[in-house]
Amino acid sequence: MSAAQALWSRWFKSATPESDALPVRLGRRASFSTGTSANQATSFDHPLLAVVLILVVWGAVMVYSATIAMPDNPRFANYTHNYFLVRHTASVAIALVAALIAFQVPLETWERIAPMLFIASLVLLLAVLLPFIGKGVNGARRWISLGVTNFQPSELAKFSAVLYAAGYMVRKIELKEDFIRAVWPMAAAVGIMGSLLLAEPDMGAFMVIAVIAMGILFLGGVNARMFFLISSVLVAAFALMIAFNDYRRARIFAYLDPWSGHNALGKGYQLTHSLIAIGRGEIFGVGLGGSVEKLHWLPEAHTDFLLAVIGEEFGLVGVLLLLGLFLWLTRRLIHIGRQAVALDRVFAGLVAQGVGIWMGFQAFINMGVNLGALPTKGLTLPLMSYGGSAILINLIALAVVLRVDYENRQLMQGGRA
């Protein structure tokens, strides 16, 4: 294990009770003895479920707040005031049912179907580029129309990338010191997926998938020199993508000087109004429903810039609370993964940690964009922003992590996962 990987392990070790037993936490009724009843111990992580539900419910409230005045805009004159709330609530209901089903699926099954799910994601990413299948919005072709709703294949691609990368590391774990045989096949697969995403274009989703793959390589124990070499190549590749693309380069310049006359009404328009919204919120906010920026000033207030509305209505206190919830969520997911690895369930552990990296990194990017700390990038706030595909896949992924925790607890009680 490299020094960097050892440091990562020590950072998360504080979440584990000090005990000679395996580092598995069973909750308030936890016990490492054989005397604990199966009904008490074999459960799942209730605090994790509670935090997820808090984020989902809070997100639904904020989506309603951000969209309630949209019908006053001539573009949305045919919509009712609760149009987006009804659709978002329906998406959440469907996603919860799908998550409940996903929770019933053993991790062995997910490991078996991971390559097929990855291939299916590639097929859908290719299909979305076809003019008679893919649906274009604002110059981007990212959705497949299903009649009553649209499906975004890039969300499925994130989940399939987690499963594929985890399964790949399990299969190739004995080759992790051999750069060519251990890394390049997965790099090629991720590269193909990234090429299809860039053709949409959706650089944000590609960044998330690249970070997921790199994180799983790191946690899977790939040689540190390999890891930093790949990281350097990846950073250089993204820099070149920005340098040789006029649109992305303009986004960077707008980020560096959003208040200039040219940028404030152009590429920096969303960023300046996001900062205005957060500035208006001050410490305690203007109150739920009191946002002014959502009144047709801030574009995409219910999707990419939902945090700006939260900042305006709940202030610094609300933003810090949200940040704390996502930090706790990410750490909990990583901890569940460490529990699984300690029980010699490497695939399950890497899946849980991969989902933690995904949720944490995407939330970090979205918050950084809203706060002006990062260039504008079209990534939603996990579990909260409007979007049926994202909510569906996010809750399925978290259900799989709850299943990992459930199987961990079974094993600790001497049962089978």
Q: What is the pLDDT of residues 290-342, one digit of tens each?
A: 999 998 888 889 999 999 999 999 999 999 999 999 999 999 999 999 999 99
Q: Are the CB atoms for 416 and 48 separated by under 8 Å?
A: no
Helix ranges (H only) for 343-378 are 346-370
* Distances, alpha carbon 339 to alpha carbons 34, 43, 124, 333, 348, in Å: 18, 15, 34, 10, 10
% the chain with pLDDT above 70: 86
Higher pLDDT, 154 or 222: 154
Lowest mean pLDDT among 42-46, 114-118, 197-201: 42-46
The chain-wide mean pLDDT, for the chain, equals 85
Please give the order of strands across the beta sheet that includes 150-151.
134-137, 140-145, 150-151
% the chain with pLDDT above 90: 52
Predicted pLDDT of residue 186: 82
Predicted pLDDT of residue 31: 35
**pLDDT tens-digit profile of 172-189?**
766 555 666 667 788 888
**pLDDT tens-digit profile of 23-81?**
444 443 333 333 334 444 458 789 999 999 999 999 999 999 999 988 887 777 788 88
Which amino acid appears at position 182 of this protein? A
Environment class of 383 (CB within 10 Å of its CB; exposed 0-12, middle 13-18, buried 19+) = buried
Closest to 154 (Cα-Cα) out of 402, 415, 392, 401: 392
Predicted pLDDT of residue 30: 37
Predicted pLDDT of residue 241: 84
Q: Which two tokens stand for residue 110?
A: 């997910």
> CB within 8 A of 280, min separation 6: which ones?
286, 291, 292, 293, 312
Phi, then psi, of 143 in degrees rounded to 5: -125, 150
Residues 348-360 have a mean pLDDT of: 97
Reported residue count of the chain is 417
Which amino acid appears at position 291 of this protein? S
**pLDDT tens-digit profile of 155-169?**
999 999 999 999 988
**Which band of pLDDT confidence, cut at 50, 70 and 90, is reported for residue 153?**
very high
Q: The whole model's pTM is what?
A: 0.87
* Distances, alpha carbon 197 to alpha carbons 41, 107, 202, in Å: 43, 28, 5
Phi, then psi, of 375 in degrees rounded to 5: -60, 150
Predicted pLDDT of residue 39: 46
